[in-house]
Amino acid sequence: MSQISNKEIEQTLRNSECLISSIEVAAAYERLAAQLNLHYAGLNPIVMVVMNGGLIPAGQLLTHLTFYHRMHYIHASRYRDNEGTNELSWKFKPDVDITGEHVLLVDDIFDEGITLKAIVEELKKENPKSVDCCVLLNKVHDRKVDDFKVDFVGLDVDDRYVYGCGMDFHGYLRHLPGIYAIKEDKIPE
């Protein structure tokens, strides 16, 4: 992803509105961690971070976990092929044997679900004991992939392009501690 100027980023921040505050996000991590702590108590799972977006949610969640776990990462991204269909491009497949293991995927957002559905399908080929998905955000719309649901959701978010908490605006602003979107009247035509 190519660089954009600091001026453009500052303009973006001025045109942004906060949809979910850092306080609400922090509370969501605590709620999610409480659910995960109940579910995984004694199960000794592998927590697999879906890079890049899952990095910050996982980092925040992991400090609240009370069950023993190992941490790995996976890197896959959606792209549109020449036919306009969504494909998943693998950048890093985990180099860990997950056969017979409980696996918890952690990502930032469940949008259409293309990414997590494809990752889960791929991981299931290795016969893990379980594969579950935890996301900070669920984007609310009716364009989800068929026959797939995530298991642990922090918060619902409106059907807008959002950034912060791991999610990027042209590769930037993943570090923002709340969830932001461009103000409706500032979205370019």
List interacting residues with ligand PRP (CB under 6 A). Answer: 50, 52-53, 77-78, 107-115, 168
* Residue among 106, 13, 9 nearest 52 (CA): 106
Please say which residue, 101 or 107, places its beta carbon nearer to ligand HPA.
Answer: 107
DSSP 84: S
Two structure tokens written together for 112: 């259409």
What's the distance, Cα to Cα, between the start and end of the chain in Å?
23
Q: How near is the Cβ of 174 to ligand PRP at its closest, in Å?
A: 8
Q: Which does 135 bind (CB under 5 to 8 A by kind): ligand PRP, ligand HPA, none?
A: none
Q: How near is the Cβ of 99 to ligand PRP at its closest, in Å?
A: 24
**C-alpha to C-alpha distances, 25 to 21, 87, 107, 182, nearest whole angstrom:** 6, 30, 14, 19
162 binds ligand HPA (CB under 6 A): yes
Q: How near is the Cβ of 87 to ligand PRP at its closest, in Å?
A: 11
Binding region for ligand HPA (CB under 6 A) out of 14-22, 64-72, 122-130, 156-164? 156-164
**C-alpha to C-alpha distances, 13 to 10, 46, 53, 115, nearest whole angstrom:** 5, 36, 19, 27
109 binds ligand HPA (CB under 6 A): yes
